[in-house]
A = this chain, B = another copy of it.
Amino acid sequence: MNQILGEQSIQFENPPYLIGDAAIVGEKEGQGPYKHYFDKVEKDPYFGTDSWEEAESQLQLQTAALALQKTGLTYGDIRYIFAGDLLGQNIATSFGLMDLNRSLFGLYGACSTLGESLTLGAMTISGGFADKVMCLTSSHFGSAEKQFRFPLEYGNQRPLSATWTVTGSGAFILSNEEHAGAITSHIRITGATPGAITDFGVQDSMNMGAAMAPAACDTIFKNLQDFSRMPEDYDKIITGDLGTIGQEILLKLLRDKGYDISRQHMDCGIEIYDPKTQDTHAGGSGCGCSASMLSAYILKQLRSGTWKRILMVPTGALLSTVSFNEGQTVPGIAHGVVLEYQ
């Protein structure tokens, strides 16, 4: 069984079915343009806990539980979990999922982790290593600001290139069968293009869109080449959280390589907030941005057949406060996943 395609892509021989999913977000996301699409909007930013980190753990756990509930499955049906978050040592994930008694692959790809998670989950199903797996990621505005910038109480100003970390989580159940209880899935993961780190020397941690755009460009370019496709072979090419500045750079970089994706491109970070009424500068970001948008909005467009084939490219900026303070650049990475309505 050869599932190798081109320079760095994978074509799944047994494309896994995406049989269930859920998205839970915070209050700010629940006031944005997609407010009616999310499964749940939680108004308590602490999710009933005492700290931002526990809040994010609770958010991830609730989203996982909801995806199962909607699909009529239990944790016992899930063989492996592929999950991650933005916090040091992945603590939102570890403490969120530790009581589930399921084998866990902890992942870190910054905001690209959703793409990494779906790729590894799909490989696990297509390779015959499991019947059902769960892929999930989360981010939380409070825990991320505390981790990467300043505690919220400090009330520092943010430059216009900065993005707003989404409080949100998306959970996805992949299966080797299209049926789960009363549900029949028509969405399959048919391919993937795992990305390499790309460093254009950006040193501004408040301009992550610029840092991630070259990585997104590289992954999309490789995907189009490896699958011998043109941009119009996709109904949408969707990046994670480039924001308005990153989008501009991505479109230009790809145009320089001979591809115009301006008609297909959509960025979850740009979409999730309303720039007129919600003061989020360059848009949303975080592991939870692309994950909550994929479940809430994007999969619904596939499920209804409005879109037939999309390329989902979560984008990550690989920095820590330590690397940043030591004067390192902000390298980017992006993992592409092909989802199709069949």
Task: Report which A residues bind B (CB closer than 8 A).
Answer: 1-4, 8, 10, 13, 50-51, 53-54, 79-80, 84, 86-91, 94-95, 97-110, 116, 119-120, 123-124, 126-131, 147, 194-197, 199, 318-323, 326, 328, 331, 333
Chain B residues with CB below 8 A from A100, complex form: 196-197
Chain B residues with CB below 8 A from A328, complex form: 91, 95
Choose among B51, B98, B99, B129 the residue that contacts A123 (Cβ–Cβ < 8 A): B129
A294 to B100, CA, bound (A): 31
Given contacts A4-B128, A103-B196, A127-B3, contact A53 B322 (CB under 8 A): yes
Chain B residues with CB below 8 A from A147, complex form: 88, 322
Please tell me if the beta carbons of B108 and A107 are within 8 angstroms of each other in the complex.
yes
Please tell me if the beta carbons of A90 and B108 are within 8 angstroms of each other in the complex.
yes
Please tell me if the beta carbons of B91 and A323 are within 8 angstroms of each other in the complex.
yes
Copy total for this chain: 2
Please tell me if the beta carbons of A120 and B108 are within 8 angstroms of each other in the complex.
no
Please tell me if the beta carbons of B110 and A108 are within 8 angstroms of each other in the complex.
no
Name the distance in Å between A158's Cβ and chain B's nearest Cβ.
Answer: 20
Name the distance in Å between A154's Cβ and chain B's nearest Cβ.
Answer: 17
A107 to B194, CA, bound (A): 14
Please tell me if the beta carbons of B1 and A1 are within 8 angstroms of each other in the complex.
yes
A50 to B8, CA, bound (A): 34
Q: Mind listing 19 A-B residue pairs with CB under 8 Å?
A: A1-B128, A13-B128, A53-B323, A88-B322, A89-B108, A89-B323, A94-B197, A94-B318, A94-B333, A95-B323, A98-B318, A98-B331, A100-B197, A106-B109, A107-B107, A108-B108, A126-B127, A127-B127, A127-B128
Chain B residues with CB below 8 A from A3, complex form: 127-129
Chain B residues with CB below 8 A from A102, complex form: 196
A10 to B102, CA, bound (A): 14
Name the distance in Å between A176's Cβ and chain B's nearest Cβ.
Answer: 10
A109 to B333, CA, bound (A): 20
Name the distance in Å between A3's Cβ and chain B's nearest Cβ.
Answer: 5
User: 8 smallest A-B Cβ distances: which pairs?
Assistant: A127-B127, A88-B88, A89-B320, A103-B194, A98-B197, A94-B318, A1-B128, A106-B108
A319's closest neighbor in chain B, by CB? B89
A112's closest neighbor in chain B, by CB? B106
Chain B residues with CB below 8 A from A127, complex form: 1, 3, 123, 126-129
A146's closest neighbor in chain B, by CB? B322
A53 to B110, CA, bound (A): 18
A275 to B4, CA, bound (A): 48
Please tell me if the beta carbons of A331 and B197 are within 8 angstroms of each other in the complex.
no
Chain B residues with CB below 8 A from A199, complex form: 98-99
